[in-house]
Amino acid sequence: MNTSFHPTPRTLMGPGPSDVHPRVLGAMAKATIGHLDPEFIGLMEEIKVLMRQTFRTQNKLTLPLSAPGSAAMEASFANLLEPGDKVIVCINGVFGMRMAENVRRMGGELVTVEDEWGTPVDAEKLSAALAANPETKIVAMVHAETSTGVCSDVKTLCALAKKHNCLTIVDSVTGLAGVPLEVDAWQVDVAYSGTQKCLSAPPGISLITFSEAAAECVRARNAPVQSWFLDVSLLMAYWEGEGARTYHHTAPVNAMYGLHEALLMVQEQGLEQSWQKHRDMHASLAENLTGLGLDFVVHSDCRLPQLNLVKVPEGVDEASVRKQLLTDFNLEIGAGLGAFAGKVWRIGLMGYSARQENIQLCTSALRACL
């Protein structure tokens, strides 16, 4: 006989999802109302204001998508890219590769700038690619590469793209609220993120913002956006409709309550304080792991404080350690992806997971397993 599902409470210190803050869970448990209810429309307006503050932008076209971060990636390319457009994608991990796959599937002309996994995007390589491809329309890059724990210099990369009159797409799914991201100041045209990393909310919603130049690009398209669901011109009729909103889809009402609470908490703490908290917790974890004789893969100059790539010691079965951590300590850490599969652990310190008690649990549990 089937019974209700009761998950074992875990401490989530992998690459995401991260621990969900109790305030967010409490917000999501409130009474469901209709997605066109006047009270919900008021909440939608507050979410957009909070999102602009968190992205550091004045972009009017800023909204959540009723789907996880991968959908925001697809929405970025689906709205800006038309068949035959030339796009430069900077690849230094899995998510750069996924950006490139979006370009291929949408009929774009793909140019890649590739860097070794575990290192940031090389601005000189991008500069050379832009010089060699003067007709490039879009430059796409990952701010915080979840597969490697590397932070790339988006400010410099976007400045290069703008010198060549290109639109820019920035993946900051793991970056937002964890490390500095200044959408307007850095000339980012499209940036997107997700709820399940440094915002301390469950997975399922993504956040996206379009500059006026990007919005104009969408309006000037020759062909319709290939995705009906992710067409931002249709979505904005629901999210921005003056007076009356056009029905587009049934928004996940309770998940939006959670997003609102998560964004509110970031603003209460202060964005700079959130960035500093992640740096402080990383310093504490680094000290502890170094004390266990463990080494980091990524150089400290470009290391994400909220996602740590740790080398598996010689002779250790990394999968069995992760299994033991989950079984004996209810602690989840992540495996390596791609070039790092079987060689590293990915230890997340994102949002509500970035707490001293989690660091102590992780340290003592790893000591026991090793």
Average pLDDT over residues 169-196: 98
d(CA 198, CA 364) in angstroms, rounded, equals: 24
Quote the percentage of the chain above a pLDDT of 70.
Answer: 99
Q: What is the pLDDT of residues 267-314, one digit of tens each?
A: 999 999 999 999 999 999 999 999 999 999 999 999 999 999 999 999
Give residue 245's pLDDT band: very low, low, confident or very high (50, 70, 90): confident
Q: What is the pLDDT of residues 38-63, one digit of tens each?
A: 999 999 999 999 999 999 999 999 99
* Average pLDDT of the chain to the nearest whole number: 97
Extents of the domains making up the chain: 11-17+271-369, 22-267
Same fold, 11-17+271-369 and 22-267: no
pLDDT of residue 194: 98
Average pLDDT over residues 70-81: 98
Average pLDDT over residues 244-257: 92
Question: Which fold would CATH assign to domain 11-17+271-369?
Answer: Aspartate Aminotransferase, domain 1 (3.90.1150)
Q: Residue 3: exposed, middle, or buried by beta-carbon count in 10 A (0-12, 13-18, 19+)?
A: exposed
DSSP-derived secondary structure for 251-293: --HHHHHHHHHHHHHHHHH-HHHHHHHHHHHHHHHHHHHHHTT
d(CA 146, CA 120) in angstroms, rounded, equals: 12
Beta bridge pairs of residue 334: 346
Average pLDDT over residues 109-127: 98
Global pTM exceeds 0.95: yes
Question: Which CATH architecture does the domain made up of 22-267 adopt?
Answer: 3-Layer(aba) Sandwich (3.40)
pLDDT surpassing 80 at residue 243 = no
Average pLDDT over residues 75-99: 98
pLDDT of residue 242: 61
